């Protein structure tokens, strides 16, 4: 029987998830469809009811519903309960179970490169929903410590508390105060939304050591100013589209129980961006 999947959020027009998942269905000859479904912030409850009525088989959740959606789940995978946010839902006869594939999606590019994060010193820019999944990822991989730099220091402090609670030594700084300290880190991640509109990097990378790992979770444009500056300093680059693919392939495997066709999904994604 044909299966139906969706991504819910607002805005949803520009989501690349329908392209990525549809390419996987074509590649594996699956009788499935995947649509973008716009649900505005205050109408999540009604939106979920509609999805249940059409017996949706599963859906992804994006901004602004990742945290609010937790209320509507009947079951939580550990990934979801630790992070406190959901991006992937399965529906089995009306029972909704939530997962968070952002953490594994974030870690996937390191795994692909055989990079071990144990004992590395991390600088994380940003303290929103995505940053929280990333902190959980570094904790899981036993990084040495993490400095969380954010525009709003209160949000950074909240995330520091979460990090310390799950066993990763953390401290908070105001993003303007980073100065030349980038040379003290092994991995630097941009988990703010800065770059999406082609803005300049929010920190200076002039003092970056060569071979520092620099990862931007912004995937559009592919080459953000942050990554361009890192390349000039001979950094090892990880692109935002790699995390997007990582979370999508994990979600695919949860829903379909077979290995995701990574290359077909990558081709579909890079064809669009």
For position 223 contacting ligand ATR by CB under 6 A, the verdict is no
Find the shortest distance in angstroms from Cβ 155 to ligand ATR.
4
Give the residue, chosen from 150, 201, 224, 249, that forms a contact with ligand ATR under the rule CB under 6 A.
Answer: 150
For position 48 contacting ligand ATR by CB under 6 A, the verdict is no
Find the shortest distance in angstroms from Cβ 178 to ligand ATR.
12
Report how far residue 179's alpha carbon sits from residue 213's, in angstroms, rounded to the nearest whole number. Answer: 18
Find the shortest distance in angstroms from Cβ 180 to ligand ATR.
19
**Closest CB to ligand ATR among 15 and 192?**
192
Sign for the pseudo-dihedral over CA of 10, 11, 16, 19: positive
**Closest CB to ligand ATR among 153 and 264?**
153
Give the residue, chosen from 116, 119, 152, 204, that forms a contact with ligand ATR under the rule CB under 6 A.
Answer: 152
Residues 50-69 within binding reach of ligand ATR (CB under 6 A)? 63
State yes or no: is 66 an active-site residue.
Answer: yes
Catalytic, out of 66, 121, 211, 267: 66
For position 105 contacting ligand ATR by CB under 6 A, the verdict is no
Tell me how crowded residue 270 is: count the other CB atoms within 10 A of its CB: 11
User: Could you tell me how many residues of this chain bind ligand ATR (CB under 6 A)?
Assistant: 15
Partners of 173 in the beta sheet?
149
For position 193 contacting ligand ATR by CB under 6 A, the verdict is yes
Sign for the pseudo-dihedral over CA of 169, 231, 150, 127: negative
For position 151 contacting ligand ATR by CB under 6 A, the verdict is yes
Q: Token match 């805005």: residue?
A: 11
Question: Segment near ligand ATR (CB under 6 A), from 33-41, 48-56, 121-129, 166-174?
Answer: 121-129
Contact by Cβ (8 Å): 45, 96: no
Q: What 3-state DSSP class applies to 1?
A: coil
**Omega within 30 of 0 (cis) for the link into 14:** no
Q: Which residues are CB-contacts of 28 (< 8 A; sequence separation ≥ 6)?
A: 256, 258, 261
Report residue 186 CA to chain centroid gap.
20
By residue count, the chain amounts to 273
Point out which residues bind ligand ATR (CB under 6 A): 63, 126-131, 150-152, 155, 192-194, 202
Catalytic residues: 66
């Amino acid at each position: 029987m044909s299966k139906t999947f969706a991504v819910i959020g607002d805005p949803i027009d520009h989501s690349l998830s329908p392209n990525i998942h549809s390419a996987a269905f074509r590649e594996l000859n699956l009788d499935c469809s995947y649509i973008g479904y716009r649900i505005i912030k205050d109408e999540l409850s009604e939106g979920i009811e509609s999805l249940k009525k059409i017996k949706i088989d599963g859906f992804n959740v994006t901004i602004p519903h990742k945290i609010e959606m937790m209320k509507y789940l009947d079951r939580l995978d550990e990934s979801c309960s630790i992070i406190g946010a959901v991006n992937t839902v399965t529906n089995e006869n009306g029972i909704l179970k939530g997962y968070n594939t952002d953490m594994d999606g974030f870690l996937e590019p390191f795994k692909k490169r055989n990079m071990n994060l144990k004992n590395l010193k991390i600088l994380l820019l940003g303290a929103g929903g995505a940053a929280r999944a990333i902190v959980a990822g570094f904790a899981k991989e036993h990084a040495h410590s993490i400095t969380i730099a954010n525009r709003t220091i209160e949000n950074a402090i909240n995330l520091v508390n979460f990090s310390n609670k799950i066993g990763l030594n953390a401290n908070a700084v105001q993003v303007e105060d980073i100065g030349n300290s980038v040379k003290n880190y092994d991995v630097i991640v941009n988990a703010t939304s800065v770059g999406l509109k082609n803005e300049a990097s929010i920190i200076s990378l002039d003092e970056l050591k060569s071979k520092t790992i620099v990862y931007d979770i912004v995937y559009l444009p592919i080459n953000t100013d942050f990554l361009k500056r890192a390349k000039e300093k001979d950094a090892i680059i990880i692109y935002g589209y790699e995390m997007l693919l990582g979370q999508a392939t994990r979600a695919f495997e949860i829903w379909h129980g077979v290995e995701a066709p990574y290359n077909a999904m990558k081709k579909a994604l890079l064809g669009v961006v």
